[in-house]
Amino acid sequence: MNRFYLIFKFLFDKNIPIKEKWWIILPMIYIVSPIDLIPAPVLGLSIIDDAVVFLYLLSVINGKTKKYYGNAYKKDKGQKNQQENIVDNVEYEIKDDEDEQ
C-alpha cells in the first residue's frame, strides 16, 4: 500500500521533471488502451504485449521511487528505515567483570 502512495506522490510532485513522469504515465495509458502492438486475432497473444509493458512498468516504478525517495518504503510494514536505527556521538565505557571484583 505504501508503494501506491509513493507512485501518486511521485506523479504529483512538482519538483520532479515531467520527463521522468512520462516513463510511468505512458505505459499506464498503453495498458488501459484498447490498442495493442500484437493484434488479438494473432493466436490470442494480445495479452503478452500488455504483460510485458506491465512488467516494464513495475520495474520503472521501482527504480524511480528508489531514486527519488530512497528507502522510504519497505516490503514489510514491520521493518523500519535503517537510518532510524543509527545512534551517533554517544560516549560509552566498557566495564569488565574482573575489574569490578
- Span 62-100, pLDDT tens digits: 888 888 777 555 544 445 555 566 777 788 788 887 765
The per-residue pLDDT for 93 is 83
The per-residue pLDDT for 76 is 41
Distance between CA atoms of residues 72 and 93, nearest Å: 34
The per-residue pLDDT for 43 is 67
* Assigned C-alpha cell, 101: 571484583
Distance between CA atoms of residues 87 and 75, nearest Å: 24
Band of residue 60 on the pLDDT scale cut at 50, 70, 90: confident
The per-residue pLDDT for 101 is 57
Enumerate the domain spans of the chain. 2-75
Lowest mean pLDDT among 32-36, 48-52, 69-73, 88-92: 69-73
Mean pLDDT of all residues in 56-62: 86
* Statement: residue 55 has pLDDT above 80: yes
* Assigned C-alpha cell, 53: 509493458
> Where is pLDDT greater, at 12 or 68?
12
* Assigned C-alpha cell, 8: 501518486
